[in-house]
Structure 1
Amino acid sequence: MQQKIVIKVFMHCPKCRTKAMQIAVTMQGVESAELTGEEKDHVVVVGVGIDSVELTRQLRKKVAYAELVSVGENKKKTEKPDTICPSVIGFPPPPPPPPPPYYSYHVCEERDPFCIIL
């Protein structure tokens, strides 16, 4: 069963956000992590068998004050299958490549008009 954990972390700078994300994704069992909220101060972690207390403790220790907002089951959004439009216009195939150049050589033998032997 997947669980969704929301932790509010008081972050002051972009470096703190990066550090919080790195800590969140290195926890065992995490499948996805994202920052949400108006000020990007909520860390939402989804996964199987995540220790929410340990994650909160690590964020407090290495980033800033953090409080556990919620722990619950992850409700997956049902995605509608993409409908394929039956009137899709295909493109014609590209033209074939041009043929290779044809080289011809014209060889002329010059005969000497004064030579009788040939």
Structure 2
Amino acid sequence: MKVTMNCQKCRAEAMKVAAKTDGVTSVAIEGPDKDKMVVVGDDIDTASLSLALKKKLGHSVILTVEEVKPKPPEKKPEEIIKALYEYWPPPPYRPCPIYCSEIYSEPQQSNCSLM
């Protein structure tokens, strides 16, 4: 709705009138000049709301009336899901490798020799 709201007092009065209307769940003021009011709710009588705003503030125009659809739940990106399953199930337990080294020694020469 477009409502004539020149000062902060007029904006507060418009929000009070809209909030008192049956079915209203939220009221917000938008626009670069702060002259547009967004009213959200169930089964709001827009004509009676506009008339009440005209009585209090002098001028109001209904710009759009539309149904607010609930947002679908956000899906996780496939990358996150892929990352979760990349390490699931956890790898089996592997013991640390044991390295065996062969001890090599040179044969000792004896003092005895046969010739």
TM-score (norm 2): 0.61
| Percent of matched pairs sharing the same residue | 39
In our comparison, the structure showing a higher alpha carbon Rg is 2
TM-score (norm 1): 0.59
Determine the C-alpha separation between the residues in 2 that align with 1:36 and 1:81: 30
Q: Please name the residue that 1:67 is paired with.
A: 61
Runs of 4+ in 1 over 4 A off after TM superposition: none
In the alignment, is the contact (CA less than 8 A) between 1:30 and 1:46 conserved in 2?
yes
Q: Please name the residue that 1:38 is paired with.
A: 32
In the alignment, is the contact (CA less than 8 A) between 1:25 and 1:33 conserved in 2?
yes
Q: Please name the residue that 1:17 is paired with.
A: 11
Q: Which runs of 5+ in 1 are unaligned?
A: 1-6, 84-118
Counterpart residue identity of residue 35, structure 1: I
Count of residues in Structure 1 that have an aligned counterpart in Structure 2: 77
Choose between structure 1 and 2: higher helix proportion: 2
Choose between structure 1 and 2: higher strand proportion: 1
For residue 78 of structure 1, report the CA deviation from its aligned partner.
Answer: 4.4
RMSD: 1.9
